[in-house]
């Protein structure tokens, strides 16, 4: 019975979300590779979760996001070559790279809790505090509104 449950769980971990154009085998490899990588890094920082726990959390995060960045509400542009670390990754345009999905920790590195965001959001979160990030976003919106109203006056 336990073996059957393990096999069912393994099969579920190869089912890609609808927004991610990957074959089940490629998606399963991606989840496995990310699970191993994240677990190794987290263990160096004192975490104690297992690879399989990380894989389940990654899989859940991929399905939960629905292809939308939870911070800016914009669609993610999956580039399978980037997700799999392929050699053709440099050929993608900058716009696609900005919107490509990446996995980040939702909580401190010791927890096995992830979310999928755009690379642009991940970069901003890595450099700015949440308050600074929000202030920057407000400044961008204010600038665009000011620029648009100035153009309408001309």
pLDDT in tens, 131-152: 888 888 888 888 888 877 766 6
pLDDT at position 92 is: 52
| Structural domain for 49, as ranges | 2-129
Tell me whether residue 140 is in a domain: no
In a domain, 15, yes or no: yes
pLDDT at residue number 126? 80
> Residue 133: what pLDDT?
80
Instruction: Report which of residues 108 and 17 the model is more confident about.
Output: 17
Please tell me the pTM assigned to this model. 0.71
Give a yes or no: residue 141 inside a domain.
no
142, part of any domain: no
Alpha-carbon span 120 to 140, nearest angstrom: 15
CB 111 within 8 A of CB 105: yes
The Cα 75–Cα 72 span in angstroms is: 9
Instruction: Count the domains in the chain.
Output: 1
DSSP string, 18-87: TTS---HHHHHHHHHHHHHHHHHHHHHTT----HHHHHHHHHHHHHHHTTB-TTT-PBP---HHHHTT-G
Tell whether 154 is covered by a domain. Answer: no
Q: Is residue 109 domain-resident?
A: yes
Q: What is the mean pLDDT of residues 76-83?
A: 65
- Inside any domain, residue 136: no
- 54 part of a folded domain: yes
Give the model confidence (pLDDT) of 89-106 as tens digits: 555 556 667 888 999 988
């Amino acid at each position: 019975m336990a073996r059957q449950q393990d096999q069912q769980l393994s099969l579920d971990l190869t089912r890609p979300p609808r927004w991610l154009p990957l074959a089940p085998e490629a998606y399963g490899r991606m989840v496995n590779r990310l699970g191993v990588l994240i677990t190794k890094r987290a263990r160096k920082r004192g975490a104690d979760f297992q690879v399989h726990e990380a894989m389940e959390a990654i899989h859940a995060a991929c399905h939960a996001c629905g292809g939308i960045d939870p911070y800016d509400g914009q669609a993610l542009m999956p580039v399978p070559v980037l997700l799999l670390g392929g050699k053709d990754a440099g050929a993608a345009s900058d716009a696609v790279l900005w919107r490509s999905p990446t996995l980040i920790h939702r909580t401190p590195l010791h927890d096995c809790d992830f979310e999928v965001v755009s690379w642009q959001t991940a970069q901003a979160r890595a450099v700015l505090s949440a308050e600074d990030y929000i202030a920057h976003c407000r400044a961008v919106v204010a600038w665009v509104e000011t620029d648009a109203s100035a153009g309408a006056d001309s």
